[in-house]
Structure 1
């Protein structure tokens, strides 16, 4: 009996061990990641151009989707405005008729008769009654005319709104056509270049790897850097208030002098992400570079002053590189719209306005003035 129990126990142990080994084999036999390490800048200039064009197509396609979505919204707004215009035009016809009757009454002198009734009053009570009636009629006249004028202004405002929305829609359609033409041109260029290569299949695989890596990891890292930079720039005025050694003033004039290494230290203290990121100041330009593992990002741009509608210092992205590949204008514009990298003097001191901004070797200088 004991032998049978021992045999059953041994069999159970063997089954458990075999199951464990099988499960371990299944885990270790998982397929590799859907993409390998991303292609980097190649010494093969044609290959580099093909990969660059393929990445541009991906981003331009996204811009086309954004434009199409904006078109739908504009079309809905246009239909709504057109419907409101029709309703307003119907309403104003009635107001125009009422206003016309009032103006005719004044033109024919009918309202003078009202004033004459005051002279015909036989006693004070009749005089006051006539006066109240005149005041009531004149107030109603004013209401009719004021309402007509308001309706006219509202109608004009709707016409202007309709025209602006229609212009935006036409611009979006032109922009969409331009982007589609860009995609077709790039696709034809890639097809022509691939047709002349003996390694076309390998290049197509590299295109796929680059596209997958950009969509699955690259864009998320770029957006993360932009988001962190936007928050850091928004809080820079508050940091300058606490670190007044970089801020000097004389009368109503203020000067911010920010060395390159100070800004880099501020960013590193602000967010650990910037340990892998560095600003480099050159004459009239700023370059920010960051590299971590398989992600290499470079942003180049310049500062300029915007006066209206509110005074601030705008950062314009001139170049944006991902792993050595230049991203198209549509991507730069979309990132600039989503993430605010500008500097607002009024956050430093109320009523401060930027007068000039200059970037020299290793230093950023901003001239400001109080404007009441």
Structure 2
């Protein structure tokens, strides 16, 4: 059954590939209007996927919010009981009832009676402490739960806003595509081109892009070890360190990690990093930059600014989702213990990372 399923997917992919390669025009060679229509069409497909992801996130957040509300109701009932018991203890001290116990203890007629009264007194006082501690713990617990419930409500509202914005965006794009297709002079050919380009992207393109991002994420895990082996890559000046990664060496490192990168080149520029290459029928261009981040932990994080597939620029939703799925970051602590990154800079043919001791 599994082999049959794989065979069906492979046949669909080959069909899409034959359709796309047989088209009279390619994305890189078509006119600007057609290219824009295809870009908008791909954006619709990708934003639809984002809407589906947001919908699933919304359903999960709503379920979590309902669970929290249920827990909150139970906690409020329990804290009311604890509050009554704690209130009785506090009143007993305020009214001097515990002072009377102490007076009785001091008035014991003999040592045996005094020891017995001490035992009773300790039991009462210990019970009082347990009641007050239980109330404090329950109060802290419900306060934490209320904050989580509030945060979840805020998160849910943000999700709803994102969902509404993306739906508005995809509707506007669809209207624009329909208008452009109808005004193209050959709407039937244009619709066929859109359909075949979309099928090619969904069956082959997206898989290939993810495959390359996954390979790059895997390679980045070995970057610290690679840097350690490069003579002069780490320069120290007291408590500060400068890590310099040379473009040529970095490309050689990636190619040693995966055959995929033998068709791709990484270029370090002042504005950021460009990745460009071709694999089979796929042309891929990635432009991005690194930023210093301290949350959730100190790291040099890669951001995708542009993603161009076969001459067609993909939307921000695709870039953002790839960033979430594949970690292309650099973690200084994996290179040197007790350091933190304080800066990152790309220069022509170089990437520099500033570190300092964090003892």
Following superposition of structure 1 onto structure 2, how do residues 128-139 of structure 1 map, counting pairs within 5 Å? Answer: 128-139=115-126
Deviations 1:249-293 (A, max 9, x none): 233222211111110000011111100111011113101112112
Once the 2 structures are TM-superposed, how far is the Cα of residue 313 of structure 1 from its aligned partner? Answer: 0.7
2:15 matches 1:33: yes
1:232 equivalent among 205, 219, 222: 219
- In structure 1, how many angstroms separate the alpha carbons of the residues matched to 2:108 and 2:231? 80
Q: How many pairs align?
A: 341
Following superposition of structure 1 onto structure 2, how do residues 287-366 of structure 1 map, counting pairs within 5 Å? Answer: 287-366=274-353
Following superposition of structure 1 onto structure 2, how do residues 244-263 of structure 1 map, counting pairs within 5 Å? Answer: 244-263=231-250
Could you say which residue in structure 2 is the equivalent of 1:20?
A: none
Could you say which residue in structure 2 is the equivalent of 1:88?
A: 75
Once the 2 structures are TM-superposed, how far is the Cα of residue 308 of structure 1 from its aligned partner? Answer: 3.2
- In structure 1, how many angstroms separate the alpha carbons of the residues matched to 2:203 and 2:96? 80
Deviations 1:314-335 (A, max 9, x none): 1111111111111111111111
Could you say which residue in structure 2 is the equivalent of 1:4?
A: none
Deviations 1:2-41 (A, max 9, x none): xxxxxxxxxxxxxxxxxxxxxxxxxxxxxx8243327413
**Farther-moved stretch of structure 1 (224-233 vs 309-318):** 309-318
TM-score, length-normalised on structure 2? 0.92
2:226 matches 1:242: no
**Farther-moved stretch of structure 1 (247-256 vs 185-194):** 247-256
Once the 2 structures are TM-superposed, how far is the Cα of residue 355 of structure 1 from its aligned partner? Answer: 1.7
Contact 2:227 2:245 in 1 (8 A): no
Could you say which residue in structure 1 is the equivalent of 2:136?
A: 149
2:63 matches 1:76: yes
- In structure 2, how many angstroms separate the alpha carbons of the residues matched to 1:353 and 1:284? 24
Could you say which residue in structure 2 is the equivalent of 1:140?
A: 127
2:198 matches 1:211: yes
Give 4+ residue runs of structure 1 displaced > 6 Å after superposition.
none
- In structure 2, how many angstroms separate the alpha carbons of the residues matched to 1:72 and 1:276? 42
- In structure 1, how many angstroms separate the alpha carbons of the residues matched to 2:52 and 2:296? 30
1:272 equivalent among 259, 262, 271: 259
Deviations 1:95-152 (A, max 9, x none): 1111111111111100001110122111111111111211110110011011011111
Could you say which residue in structure 1 is the equivalent of 2:161?
A: 174
- In structure 1, how many angstroms separate the alpha carbons of the residues matched to 2:231 and 2:271? 24
SS at match of 2:336: coil
Structure 1 spans left out of the alignment, 5+ residues: 1-31
2:114 matches 1:127: yes
Could you say which residue in structure 2 is the equivalent of 1:183?
A: 170
RMSD: 1.3
Could you say which residue in structure 2 is the equivalent of 1:8?
A: none
Contact 2:20 2:197 in 1 (8 A): no
Could you say which residue in structure 2 is the equivalent of 1:61?
A: 48
- In structure 1, how many angstroms separate the alpha carbons of the residues matched to 2:282 and 2:183? 31
Deviations 1:45-65 (A, max 9, x none): 211111110000000000000
Could you say which residue in structure 2 is the equivalent of 1:5?
A: none
- In structure 2, how many angstroms separate the alpha carbons of the residues matched to 1:262 and 1:72? 47
SS at match of 2:235: strand
Once the 2 structures are TM-superposed, how far is the Cα of residue 304 of structure 1 from its aligned partner? Answer: 1.3
- In structure 2, how many angstroms separate the alpha carbons of the residues matched to 1:324 and 1:109? 84
Could you say which residue in structure 2 is the equivalent of 1:104?
A: 91
